[in-house]
A and B are shown apart, each in its own frame.
Chain A
Amino acid sequence: MTDTVIESKKSPDRSALGRVHFDETAPLLEVQDLKVEFHTRYGVAQAVNGVSFRLDEGETLGILGESGCGKSVTAQAIMGILDSPPAKIAGGSIRFRGVDLLKMDERTRRHVRQNKIAIIFQDALSSLNPVFTVGWQLAEVYRKHTGATRAQAKVKAAELLELVGIPGAKQRANSFPHQFSGGQRQRVMIAMALALEPDVIIADEPTTALDVTVQAQVMRLLADLQKSMQMGLILITHDMGVMAEVADHLCVMYAGEAVERASVHQLYEHPAHPYTKGLLESIPRIDLKGEELRAIKGLPPPLTDLPPGCSFHPRCGFARDRCKVDHPPLYEVPGNRGSACHYWEEVIES
């Protein structure tokens, strides 16, 4: 970014956040034992069931898992934008620089949103308001958070578009979301998240809706921006290839729980949980041409009706009797990793 963000004296964020005491020495983001429930007419769904992870400055944490495993809910819980019925935060803490966001009042939390932690959603077409120009939606961030004037905000909006590589930024700022291509729209989403130079960016499946070539461009953009702004990035995806390239550490989620935690090398080379192992084995490989594709048999359990013991045991090749009754905690694995499997040593060896 060329300029620093304009902070006029009437900046609403400045006054609200000024009262909060952030601890610069504490980890950037630390989630501990987060539990989120959804109260539906079919019962209570344990969408997130005791997830913990940590993000440091400049790092990229990947959250990996299938659809429905709770990764998006976790992201939205961190942002504080879950619909509160039916969702309910049932426990745990989310500490940003030492301050528990869950204990904050909504007004202060609103100022943290976008300013300190921002999010990029998957489907940029539906995530952008169709009736306002892209420039207007970007400028809105400045006008509402920093008290900038319309003119100032307009200039910043055009700068942002240029930053994310939209050609002809000044004119394109007057275009509407549906007039951009998919990749450009995602860049706009990125621009919007970056506007106030937050400390953390959460990217929820940012490239899933894009073509493979465009995917690569967008991911590269994200990586570059992260490095130049020294932000923490939480990348949520089910695409293991993208994850391998971008992430430093990974957290694998299944049925609302974190089942493995490791650095990217450790995870890909020696997975410590049968689910991770299954995921890795299911990636089609060109040197195994001619062999049947391997898949993890079965389907994830309904979140309203989780199996007793280990949630993965019905589909697990390593499962023993113990797994049916004894819910595994996240065991400490040497090398600063974790695995929620009773038999993690076996899994690593195999």
Chain B
Amino acid sequence: MGRYLARRLLQFIPVVIGTMFLLHYITTLGIQFNGDPVRALFGDRPPPAEVLEAIRARYGLDNDCLNQRGNPCVGMFIDRVGQYLQGDFGQSIRMGDRPVTEIVLERAPVTIRLTAIAIVFETVVGIVIGVMAALRKDKFVDNGVRIVTTLLISTPIFVFGVLVQVFGALALRRWLLANDAPDWTSDMFSPVYNVDNPWLSLVVPGIVLGAVSLASIARLTRTSLIENLRADYVRTARAKGLPPRRTIGVHALRNSLIPVVTYIGIDIGMLMGGALITETIFSIPGIGQLVFLAVEFQDALVIIGVVTLLVLVFLVANLIVDVLYAVLDPRIRYD
């Protein structure tokens, strides 16, 4: 296990540096091609050059390489990495000049709540219906699950979110209010995030966020379980006189859940993108909305800082999932 861990860590480090450099390169290209974001702050009446220069220096944008198109600005990158290691992810140019980390920490709890709801929803429901579909293969339940999951995967998250918001949040809510339903039901379907109901008003967005992943998890569980049910070791378990509850629920299921765990690692990346969309649609003041706003306001430093942070989270999460995978599948450990 130790060797496996060491190997993974050894792979992890260059990849982190590589991805961060990729991000850095693209964003510097952007500044090189689209012009100076500091200059853009002032519209038609820029202040004197020294003032601009001072502002640039303040935000770390005074490097000469930003005037040369195509220059990867390695020096700047190394400086940046140094800053990251000290926990400094930049300052926002347009959002009150605050450190990016501060803004992110402020918005993080909401996003974490939202993502938590999504993950719990998609895993529990996804696995349950996947198992049900596998056990009743080709029958009504199975066909139903396959149709619904295909439909969910075909619906882009924003379509799902928009439709849920319009018909669910509004129409349904109107109906609930008109029919004197208890308060918490109408609170749950509020079309936008409500600070007074930090958990309830996130339930519907959380379900929207998790819906597509739920479909993938259900299908994956189904395929995996069907395959494992045909395996020789399940035959052995039956030959040992074990009841179906045990051959399926312990022997087959344990093996079937391994690919699902791996999937969740990839899913975290998709959840990040999904959170961006969901928070935008439902006006949730989280990190996803932050990225969206930063793009709208062209706040280059916030974009770079937040996305770098998120990429780090993603890579660490994948590392954890890889370790979890080794815990679950002993064949990997002793490679």
Contacts from A to B (Cβ < 8 Å): 79, 81, 110-115, 118-119, 121, 123, 126-132, 140-141, 144-145, 176, 178-179, 192
Contact = CB atoms under 8 A, between A and B. Distances in A.
Contact of A123 (B232, B238, B242): B232
18 contacts: A79-B239, A81-B235, A110-B243, A115-B241, A121-B235, A121-B236, A123-B232, A126-B231, A127-B232, A129-B233, A129-B237, A130-B330, A130-B331, A131-B254, A131-B255, A144-B246, A176-B331, A178-B331
Contacts of B334: 176, 178-179
B4 to A, nearest CB: 14
B328 interface: yes
Given A114-B240, A131-B255, A144-B241, 17 more contacts: A110-B242, A110-B243, A112-B241, A113-B241, A114-B241, A121-B232, A128-B233, A129-B236, A129-B251, A129-B255, A130-B255, A130-B331, A132-B254, A176-B331, A176-B334, A178-B330, A178-B334
Interface centre among B235, B243, B329 (most CB of A within 10 A): B235
Nearest to B228: A129
Interface in B235-263: 235-243, 246, 251, 254-255, 258
B239 A113 contact: yes
Nearest to B240: A114
Interface string B270-308: 000000000000000000000000000000000000000
Interface of B: 231-233, 235-243, 246, 251, 254-255, 258, 328-331, 334
A79 B241 CA distance: 9
Contacts of A131: 254-255, 258, 328-330
A140 B235 CA distance: 15
Nearest to B233: A129
Contacts of A176: 330-331, 334
Given A127-B233, A128-B233, A130-B255, A140 B240 contact: yes
A140 B242 contact: yes
B238 A81 contact: yes
* The 5 residue pairs across chains A and B that have the minimum distance between CB atoms: A113-B241, A114-B241, A126-B232, A129-B233, A176-B330
Contacts of A192: 236, 240
Contacts of B236: 121, 127-129, 192
Contacts of A128: 233, 236
A325 B78 CA distance: 88
A151 to B, nearest CB: 20
A110 B331 CA distance: 31
A112 B239 CA distance: 10
Contacts of A130: 233, 255, 329-331
Contacts of B235: 81, 121, 127
Contacts of B239: 79, 81, 113-114, 118-119, 121
B156 to A, nearest CB: 37
Contacts of B233: 126-130
B224 to A, nearest CB: 13
Contact of A111 (B231, B241, B329): B241
A94 B80 CA distance: 77
Nearest to B257: A131
A1 B184 CA distance: 66
A140 B239 CA distance: 13
B240 A113 contact: yes
Interface centre among B258, B328, B330 (most CB of A within 10 A): B330
A93 B238 CA distance: 21
Contacts of A118: 239
Contacts of B328: 131
Contacts of B240: 113-114, 140-141, 144, 192
B89 to A, nearest CB: 41
Contacts of A129: 233, 236-237, 251, 254-255
B241 A145 contact: yes
A126 B231 CA distance: 8
Contacts of A132: 251, 254
A74 B20 CA distance: 62
A127 to B, nearest CB: 5
Contacts of B232: 121, 123, 126-127
A110 B254 CA distance: 22
